[in-house]
Amino acid sequence: MSKHDTIVAADVLVTSPGRNFVTLKITTAEGLVGWGDATLNGRELAVASYLRDHVAPLLVGRDPARIEDTWQYLYRGVYWRRGPVTMTAIGAVDLALWDIKGKTTGQPVYQLLGGAVRDRILTYTHATGWDVPQLLDSVDVQRERGFLAVRAQMGVPGLDTVYGVTREGAGYEPAGRGAAPAEEVWDTAAYLRHAPGALAAVRDHVGPDLHLLHDSHHRLTPNEAARLGRALEDVDLFWLEDVTPAENQEVLRHVRRHTTTPLAIGEVFNTVWECQSLITEQLIDYVRTCVTHAGGISSLRRIAALADVWQVKLGPHGPSDVSPVALAASLHVGLATPNFGIQEYMGYEPLVHEVFRHDWSYADGYLHPGDSPGLGVDVDEHLAAQFPYERAYLPVARRRDGSMTDW
């Protein structure tokens, strides 16, 4: 490869093999291709347009090796910085450029990040059940698949729909296809009456060793969160996630004063600045920022570095609504980052694995990114083209009195 390659094309692929994904393809004059995930569940076309209409023209002619300069150019150069759309677009560019750099050097990205600090990455997956028996069965299924850490989400008596669960027990895809979001009814009091007992039943069923996690999904007030954390202390959770919307990080001080249940927050955050107080005030134990929505590998490493100073660990978001390209990138960071705690892995439908052929693999409760050059993912563009975008929205939630709350 000549000293300086140049970007000759930046294309955006929107495909829907069971659910919508947005993928950035960067091509260089030397014929190298880098892939980046740009999926933002429920707002996919906003990121696709941000990339196609505003970023792609600026990438053509740039040196793909200048990853950090490109990150700074796109972050500081946009003026209207931060937010999920901007940072997911920047994240996709960052992943694609790290992918290219790996292919240029013949190295998996984790080697370019300093090499492995561990042999494999502890991962957790989801167990769901509308009632406790269904939930216990779902947990058992995941244990039989070898998972050492399982997130448990259950229905709530008196409610028809609850985040993270389906009555059918099928795999849970929150974004519903259609012209408008589904409207769900939420009742925090009913949830708080039910969740501690349900999670205690799971702990009784599985014994002390399985790591158990639970996601309150942004729905509690600080005092409700404090009460729930305290009620769950004997359940010995690995973490209790998103107890409050955390737009106001100071409110976690109240929660922290009243419970030692480990807290995890950050999947909807997009820069290190949103996590700053949570980390430097020890208000959380795990920061959940996603490698794409938080601005890419370059950005997630900055968050990890700040978290390491305060002994906070990474627990990156890894739902079914970020693509196998994003999971790959998260795993490369995970293998090379000392304070990486655990990786979320909801899994994908078989067709998604065909569209996004990847080198990363799961075995016995752990993931590994593989040793292919770059991120180790290749997109089957012909197959992807057979699944056009289908409008889909995440649900919205209203209280019983009809007022909006956090879904």
Contact set with ligand CS2 (CB under 6 A):
41, 174, 215, 217, 241, 267, 319, 321, 344, 394
Indicate the residue among 78 and 394 with the shorter CB distance to ligand CS2: 394
CB of 330 to ligand CS2, least distance (A): 13
Partner whose binding site includes residue 394, from ligand CS2, Mg ion, none (CB under 5 to 8 Å by kind): ligand CS2
Indicate the residue among 10 and 212 with the shorter CB distance to ligand CS2: 212
Give the strand order in the sheet containing 33-37.
7-15, 21-28, 33-37
- What tokens appear for 91 in the block? 């994240």
Query: 364, 331 in Cβ contact below 8 A?
Result: no
Partner whose binding site includes residue 319, from ligand CS2, Mg ion, none (CB under 5 to 8 Å by kind): ligand CS2
CA 95 to each of CA 101, 120, 346, 377: distance values in angstroms, whole numbers, following the listed order: 10, 21, 21, 11
The owner of tokens 């050059």 is 373
3-state secondary structure of 35: strand
Query: 75, 306 in Cβ contact below 8 A?
Result: no
Partner whose binding site includes residue 174, from Mg ion, ligand CS2, none (CB under 5 to 8 Å by kind): ligand CS2
Site track for Mg ion across 262-301, x = CB under 5 A: -----x----------------------------------
Indicate the residue among 5 and 267 with the shorter CB distance to Mg ion: 267
- Tell me which of 75, 163, 286, 345 is the catalytic residue: 163
Q: How many CB atoms lie within 10 A of CB 164?
A: 18
Residue 108: DSSP 8-state: B
Check if 217 is active-site. Answer: yes
CB of 267 to Mg ion, least distance (A): 5
Tell me the pairing of strands 239-241 and 366-368.
unpaired
- Work out whether 44 is an interface residue with Mg ion (CB under 5 A): no
Residue choice 5, 99, 215, 285 for contact with Mg ion (CB under 5 A): 215
Q: How many CB atoms lie within 10 A of CB 128?
A: 21
What residues line the site for Mg ion (CB under 5 A)? Answer: 215, 267
| Residues noted as catalytic | 163, 217
